[in-house]
A and B are shown apart, each in its own frame.
Chain A
Amino acid sequence: MLYWFVFKKNLKYQNLLVIIASYIFYGWWDWRFLFLIIFSTLLDFYVGQQIFKNLDEKKKAKYWLWLSVACNVGLLGFFKYYNFFIDSFVDMFSAFGYEMKSTWTLRIILPVGISFYTFQTMSYSFDIYYKKLKPTKDVVSFAAFVAFFPQLVAGPIERASNLLSQITNTRTFKYEQATSGLKLILWGFFKKLVIADSLAPIVDDIFANYGTYPASTLILGVVLFSFQVYGDFSGYTDIAIGTAKLFGIELMSNFKFPNFSRNVAEYWQRWHISLSTWFRHYLYIPMGGSRVSKLKSVRNIAVIFLVSGLWHGANWTFVFWGAIHALLYIPIFLMGRNRLYADNVIAENSWLPSIKEIGQVLLTFILVTFSRIFFRSPSISDAFNYINQITTNFAYEAYVHPMGYRMLDFYVLLGIFTLYEYLIRKDERSPFKFKYAAVRLFLYALVIISILLFYDDGVNRSFIYFQF
């Protein structure tokens, strides 16, 4: 109301309101880390101008760019990876017979969303360096770009060329944009509260007690985790995109029904798109991308996936997860099939998918789900033990929900969810795109009743990707 009614004619006040709201939102968790965001904001605001000033002198511009990268990666490295690298060095020396005591590890709290906003501010410096963007002279707009609260803590990781240009321009209220925002928020809540949160206790139970369960339960656990992490992260993204729409801002899509991918390359065009495009633009292409020799391209792909894995968390499990995806992606790349499904969806021109497509989707889902054993396990040894337990205790046993709930409810829920996603697979930004208003109204009510049917106030509702 304040944004559209009181400040509608003054862009600066609108942006100031966004900053205040964003800082309150972030500071609510821990006000001390606001200084980190402010530091990162001021640094890249200044660096951006210096890069632009020195664009004719490539060396100087590069120096400023490296300063931005060093500071942002340095922040990330300290808060997120310091203890990880120290422990890894100690473990490495121990493996060679040198016993060392890990006295350098520190008690560091990981600031929420640091991986997201540092990447976003770096994209600004990169875009100026690559002459895709002119630096802004308005520090308020820039601060609003860095801290824009809907996507501050878990993305989508916006490129300055998309978000900053919207923040620096006058915004007008559009009915269609606002209503589509509300619809996305509703759909996001469904994915988070109904899909992710109702599966969380089951997944937690199976991964915590994997040693006691047979293969059927362990497979169930990781399959349900696939749905949980998708519901959790894409649900958050939908809420973020929807909220931004209410402020007259369009954020980029982050998920395009990845569960219907026909190979792993397509999966990466549909899963966490803002991160994969970030790495493609700012790491893969500068390294030569696919315009270098095949061998070097393969190296570049491997680097991207390993770094992407490490980006998720300071744990070798994520590196392993990235390595598995590299191994799955590289053969597709070498066969030249990595862009095969870039512009179309499953059953593009028909109601039903072909048998071949169903097979491809199932195979991709199985491979991606398998990799998630590493993503979800607390350590590498746990992940291998989990896999070992599947192969050595190959038996079926009906799983009993930790709270005794009927498991059939969850299977039916996931079946309906998958079918519905299939129906809307062509447009990830319009989950309720049906011709008749009565149908839409009924679907909204159905979503609300589903939220109530699966609501559980005993569930820990924090988002999985907030930890990254």
Chain B
Amino acid sequence: MKKFILKTVLYIVLILLIVEVIVRLFHLYTEDPPRFIDEYGVEKRVPGHKGYAVTGNRNQNYSRFSINEAGYNSHREFLPTADKFEVAIIGDSFIQGFHQDFDDSIGKKTEALLPNTEVYEYGYDGSDFASHLYLIQAYKEDFDLIDEIIIYFNYDVHLERGEYEPNYDRIKMLKSTPFKIRDNIKILAYGSKIGVLEPLKRMITGKAFEETKPKGYQTNEIEKEDDEAQKQIDLQRLANFKRAINLYGFDKNKTALMLDSRKTSKMLLNYLGESGITYIDYANDFKQSKKSTTLIYDWHWNNHGRSVIAKTIADYIEKKDKNN
């Protein structure tokens, strides 16, 4: 029995070592550049980090990222001036663009369509409408120099609050020893990414026997609430929207929201119309696309989806330029 236990432990250790080598060799794990909160209270990535973001168990999507001096994934530095024409795209993981090589991003695609334009992508995963407006306010000097601001707006997830508060606890947690261990032992990083560690996590957090919602093959479609419940949600979101604008301001002359009207409430769309806030609706462009606009494995835009978005943005800028 003693021999059995000792040899089993030895084999488990050796097997894990081999698996660790294979995971590193084939870069099955994904990298997540460290985060921090700067002196203005803006949550972003630590500048200078380069690496690879991987999606799926078998490297289904593999892309390079490069964090610039401003703390965002981009092929360029953000150096706005009064004489150049600059466009800022602010958003969450969709704009952060870890799902495609940083030098083939929405910004780069837009620049290709709009000569003499610099596009700055202020993308940070998990950010929302309040944090986007806060960013503009915090970096007022820079944004005053930028000519056009486009905020990527996802109605389902961006209006859960009306006021931004930097999440110091989360940053602290990510810097804690267990997370450092996870990031350095690549088999753990890989296991965590593909969800195989989920039962273990549930056991540690005492949720092992709680019912879980079957994950299934879900898209980012949100389940429909009943009419009354949905109305309450819409009202709350509208209130959060107004509160964020009141707190941080909104320059209607050069700022536009970029949204999918199919997934945005009529109530909010009406309010935008009434209050003169411009929005770029990419719903029709996506609907008309014959090719899929999202990735395998998750719902972020694929290369084609990004091209469609870049075209939509370029069309908007050109149209606005003509009208002026």
- Residue numbers of A with Cβ under 8 A of B are 4-5, 173, 175, 178-179, 182, 201, 402-406, 409, 441-442, 444-445, 448-449, 452-458, 460
Q: Which residue of B is nearest A456, CB measured?
A: B57
Tell me, rounded to whole Å, the shortest Cβ–Cβ distance linking A360 to chain B: 35
Tell me, rounded to whole Å, the shortest Cβ–Cβ distance linking A155 to chain B: 26
Can you list 30 A-B pairs, Cβ within 8 angstroms, ordered by A?
A: A5-B1, A173-B4, A175-B1, A175-B3, A175-B4, A179-B4, A182-B8, A201-B217, A403-B296, A405-B60, A406-B58, A406-B60, A441-B11, A441-B14, A442-B18, A444-B15, A445-B15, A445-B19, A445-B22, A448-B15, A449-B23, A452-B28, A452-B190, A453-B28, A454-B57, A455-B194, A455-B195, A457-B195, A458-B215, A458-B218
Tell me, rounded to whole Å, the shortest Cβ–Cβ distance linking A195 to chain B: 15
Q: Which of A175, A404, A449 contacts B19 (CB 8 A)?
A: A449
Q: Are B19 and A458 in contact (CB under 8 A)?
A: no
Residues in B neighbouring A409, C-beta threshold 8 A: 58
Flag whether B115 is at the interface (Cβ < 8 A). Answer: no
Q: Which of A4, A179, A445, A452 contacts B194 (CB 8 A)?
A: A452
Residues in A neighbouring B4, C-beta threshold 8 A: 173, 175, 178-179
Q: Which of A173, A404, A441 contacts B18 (CB 8 A)?
A: A441
Flag whether B7 is at the interface (Cβ < 8 A). Answer: yes
Tell me, rounded to whole Å, the shortest Cβ–Cβ distance linking B286 to chain A: 17
Known A441-B18, A453-B57: A458·B297 in contact at CB below 8 Å? no
Flag whether B191 is at the interface (Cβ < 8 A). Answer: yes
Flag whether B318 is at the interface (Cβ < 8 A). Answer: no
A444 and B215 CA atoms in complex are apart in Å by 29
A405 and B298 CA atoms in complex are apart in Å by 12
Flag whether B206 is at the interface (Cβ < 8 A). Answer: no
Known A403-B217, A454-B57, A455-B57: A445·B1 in contact at CB below 8 Å? no
Q: Are A458 and B57 in contact (CB under 8 A)?
A: no
Residues in B neighbouring A182, C-beta threshold 8 A: 8
Q: Which residue of B is nearest A186, CB measured?
A: B15
Q: Which residue of B is nearest A409, CB measured?
A: B58
Q: Which residue of A is nearest B195, CB measured?
A: A457
Flag whether B196 is at the interface (Cβ < 8 A). Answer: yes
Tell me, rounded to whole Å, the shortest Cβ–Cβ distance linking B298 to chain A: 11
Q: Are A449 and B296 in contact (CB under 8 A)?
A: no
Flag whether B198 is at the interface (Cβ < 8 A). Answer: yes
Flag whether B216 is at the interface (Cβ < 8 A). Answer: yes
Tell me, rounded to whole Å, the shortest Cβ–Cβ distance linking B142 to chain A: 39
Identify which of A173, A404, A454 gathers the most chain B CB atoms within 10 Å of its CB: A404
Other than the known A5-B1, A445-B18, A449-B22, what 18 A-B pairs have Cβ atoms closer than 8 Å?
A: A4-B1, A178-B4, A179-B8, A403-B296, A403-B297, A406-B60, A409-B58, A441-B14, A441-B18, A442-B18, A444-B11, A444-B15, A449-B23, A452-B196, A454-B58, A457-B196, A457-B198, A458-B217
Interface size, B (range): 20 to 34
Tell me, rounded to whole Å, the shortest Cβ–Cβ distance linking A22 to chain B: 20
A445 and B18 CA atoms in complex are apart in Å by 6
A107 and B187 CA atoms in complex are apart in Å by 47
Q: Which residue of B is nearest A402, CB measured?
A: B217
Residues in B neighbouring A449, C-beta threshold 8 A: 19, 22-23
Q: Which residue of B is nearest A193, CB measured?
A: B196
Tell me, rounded to whole Å, the shortest Cβ–Cβ distance linking A177 to chain B: 10
Q: Are B191 and A452 in contact (CB under 8 A)?
A: yes
Tell me, rounded to whole Å, the shortest Cβ–Cβ distance linking A87 to chain B: 30
Residues in B neighbouring A403, C-beta threshold 8 A: 217, 296-297
A445 and B19 CA atoms in complex are apart in Å by 6
Q: Which of B1, B214, B215, B292 contacts A173 (CB 8 A)?
A: B1
Residues in A neighbouring B1, C-beta threshold 8 A: 4-5, 173, 175
Residues in B neighbouring A179, C-beta threshold 8 A: 4, 7-8
Q: Which of B3, B28, B215, B292 contacts A457 (CB 8 A)?
A: B215
Q: Which of A404, A442, A453 contacts B58 (CB 8 A)?
A: A453
Residues in B neighbouring A460, C-beta threshold 8 A: 214
Tell me, rounded to whole Å, the shortest Cβ–Cβ distance linking B291 to chain A: 12
Q: Which residue of B is nearest A176, CB measured?
A: B4
A59 and B129 CA atoms in complex are apart in Å by 85
Q: Which residue of B is nearest A404, CB measured?
A: B296
Q: Are A448 and B19 in contact (CB under 8 A)?
A: yes
Quick one: which of B189-243 are within 8 Å of A by CB?
A: 190-191, 194-196, 198, 214-218
Q: Which residue of A is nearest B292, CB measured?
A: A404
Residues in A neighbouring B292, C-beta threshold 8 A: 404
- What are the 9 closest A-B residue pairs judged by CB atoms, nearest first? A445-B18, A404-B296, A457-B195, A445-B15, A458-B215, A458-B217, A453-B57, A444-B15, A178-B4
A452 and B214 CA atoms in complex are apart in Å by 20
Q: Are B15 and A441 in contact (CB under 8 A)?
A: yes
Q: Which residue of A is nearest B218, CB measured?
A: A458
Tell me, rounded to whole Å, the shortest Cβ–Cβ distance linking B259 to chain A: 25
Residues in B neighbouring A402, C-beta threshold 8 A: 217
Tell me, rounded to whole Å, the shortest Cβ–Cβ distance linking A303 to chain B: 41
Tell me, rounded to whole Å, the shortest Cβ–Cβ distance linking B9 to chain A: 12
Residues in A neighbouring B3, C-beta threshold 8 A: 175
Residues in A neighbouring B218, C-beta threshold 8 A: 458
Q: Which residue of A is nearest B14, CB measured?
A: A441
A5 and B5 CA atoms in complex are apart in Å by 13
Q: Are B22 and A458 in contact (CB under 8 A)?
A: no
Tell me, rounded to whole Å, the shortest Cβ–Cβ distance linking A352 to chain B: 30
Residues in A neighbouring B217, C-beta threshold 8 A: 201, 402-403, 458
Q: Which residue of A is nearest B56, CB measured?
A: A405
Residues in B neighbouring A201, C-beta threshold 8 A: 217
Q: Which residue of B is nearest A401, CB measured?
A: B296
A403 and B3 CA atoms in complex are apart in Å by 46
Q: Which residue of B is nearest A4, CB measured?
A: B1
A365 and B296 CA atoms in complex are apart in Å by 33
Residues in A neighbouring B23, C-beta threshold 8 A: 449
Residues in B neighbouring A453, C-beta threshold 8 A: 28, 57-58
Residues in B neighbouring A178, C-beta threshold 8 A: 4
Tell me, rounded to whole Å, the shortest Cβ–Cβ distance linking A414 to chain B: 15
A460 and B212 CA atoms in complex are apart in Å by 13
Tell me, rounded to whole Å, the shortest Cβ–Cβ distance linking A219 to chain B: 24
Known A175-B3, A458-B216: A405·B15 in contact at CB below 8 Å? no
Q: Are B215 and A452 in contact (CB under 8 A)?
A: no
